[in-house]
Chains A and B, each alone.
Chain A
Amino acid sequence: MPVSSFQEIRDKVRRAIRDTNGLLWDDSGLDRIINEAQREYSILSGSLVGSYDIESPEGGVSDAPGDFIEPIKFIGSDNFEKPLYSWKYLHVRYPDFRAITGTEIDGIITDFDGYGKIRLFPIIPAGVQVGRLYYKRLPVLNVIETTNTEAIEMHSLFQVFLLSDHRSAESYFNRFIESVNKESSVQRGLKTNSHIRRGRFF
């Protein structure tokens, strides 16, 4: 859902570079920069999350959506979370993990077949709904999807100054990082500790 408009961010950027009448940067130029800023924001923060239902493909390997960055969680069709296996872990236990077949999914592998490929383990018959994958995603073009408009503004300014060959670029990039970190530690982290005991058995 759009939480802010491009116009608001354009105005903020123009005020910062003293170009309120848009003589240096027209709307289309700024929009491209704002889209790029939000893309960078989503890659860095991982705050934009998407999900899709996985249907078992022939051979066990399917393509993730085009806006996929990396997986977060996989919830099986039985509503239990299933692990994201590292292929190295499976390979030690099942050297022929690519050929093992079964009737229900134990987990998925995303680090073996290449970027954007999801492998089911074990391979089950095609056409079965196996669960839902939540993933960090890229933003939709021309829509502001985050409430952290400060980060978008800072990165837009970074790009403007970078393209103008101005030394302020680096300081705006640092402020962009700060604003992403602020969001990560305050809004999403919540400083909650797990109640599950971890580490050694004692």
Chain B
Amino acid sequence: MTEQEYLLRIREYLHDPEGKIWDDDELTKMLVQAAETYSKDTGIFRGRLLFMVNSDGVCMVPKNFLALVAGWNSLGSHIEAIPASELSRFYGNFSVVEGEAEFCYEDLDSIGEMRLCPNPHKTQDARYYYPNSSFGIPSISSYGIPAYGQDYGIPLVVNKFTPCGDAVYIRAEEFEKIPDYMALIYHVVYQAYTIDSDFQNGSKGALYHSQYKRRIARFGQMKASVSSVKNGGKYY
């Protein structure tokens, strides 16, 4: 469903066909928020990343990252997600120890980064190649830098590395690609009726939120339908 189709349906439920109360920008922001909440609540959209850490063992997580599902190091062994406070029980010197990663934890210094422990940066065999300007490649600083969204020129640095592991994570999906569009519509209407304005209506907000909850309880709850010894006591 496109953004315009969404807005049309949402305005029907809000009884605001001409946008006199809620403008398009406001509703679109709520729609983006609804998509993120839906992705988080259901956990059904997954992404995969390759670990590439710097010398401190830190790597960035993608912008659409919501939660880690599972990670593996370069040997295929499991990487456990663990809080730093607990990690110190396994490695007292967890911030400096090096080797194949066994744990990952949120970076203490900044949000949106992840640290691997032991620090596997040496296993990546990272190499950097710089073109030699004496062989005719000019060292103009703008070479290799994308201009106006287009790549051109010759890269100034070539990095080569072996990933020190990979991970599967729960990601935020874009609202146009979420098949359960009614859940998003209900969530946006719920948000519209609960923000602080003259048109705040708690009971309507609660009604639409309960509809949203019902949808996510059924659609896409993949975990509920698969069996395991841990989950349900069946044979497989």
Contact = CB atoms under 8 A, between A and B. Distances in A.
Interface string A68-91: 011110000000000111111101
B13 A70 contact: no
B160 interface: no
Interface stretch (B27-35, B70-78, B105-113, B151-159): B70-78
Interface string B222-233: 110111111101
Interface stretch (B93-101, B123-131, B133-141, B212-220): B212-220
26 contacts: A39-B182, A43-B218, A43-B219, A69-B219, A69-B220, A70-B221, A72-B225, A84-B227, A85-B236, A86-B228, A86-B230, A86-B231, A88-B228, A88-B230, A89-B231, A91-B70, A99-B76, A107-B236, A110-B226, A111-B222, A112-B46, A113-B168, A115-B45, A115-B220, A115-B222, A169-B207
Nearest to B221: A70
Interface string A160-191: 00110100011001000000000000000000
A84 B236 CA distance: 8
Contact of B226 (A43, A85, A96): A85
A95 interface: yes
A150 interface: no
B182 A170 contact: no
A101 B236 CA distance: 19
A44 interface: yes
A114 interface: yes
A55 interface: no
Interface residues of A, number: 36
Interface residues of B, number: 38
B44 interface: yes
A117 B45 CA distance: 10
B62 to A, nearest CB: 14
A113 B45 CA distance: 8
Interface of A: 36, 39-40, 43-44, 69-72, 83-89, 91, 95-96, 99, 107, 109-115, 117, 162-163, 165, 169-170, 173, 199
For the residues of B in contact with A, the DSSP-based class is mixed
Contact of B182 (A36, A71, A86): A36
For the residues of A in contact with B, the DSSP-based class is mixed
A95 B77 contact: yes
Closest 5 CB pairs of A and B: A89-B228, A114-B46, A83-B236, A86-B228, A115-B44
Interface in B192-211: 207, 211
A95 B46 contact: no
A69 B222 CA distance: 9
Given A85-B227, A110-B226, 15 more contacts: A36-B182, A70-B221, A84-B226, A89-B228, A89-B229, A89-B231, A95-B76, A96-B76, A99-B76, A109-B226, A113-B168, A114-B45, A115-B44, A115-B179, A162-B13
A176 to B, nearest CB: 11
Among the interface residues B78, B225, B226, which one has the most CB atoms of the partner chain A within 10 A?
A: B226
A113 B179 CA distance: 16
B231 A96 contact: no
A88 B47 CA distance: 17
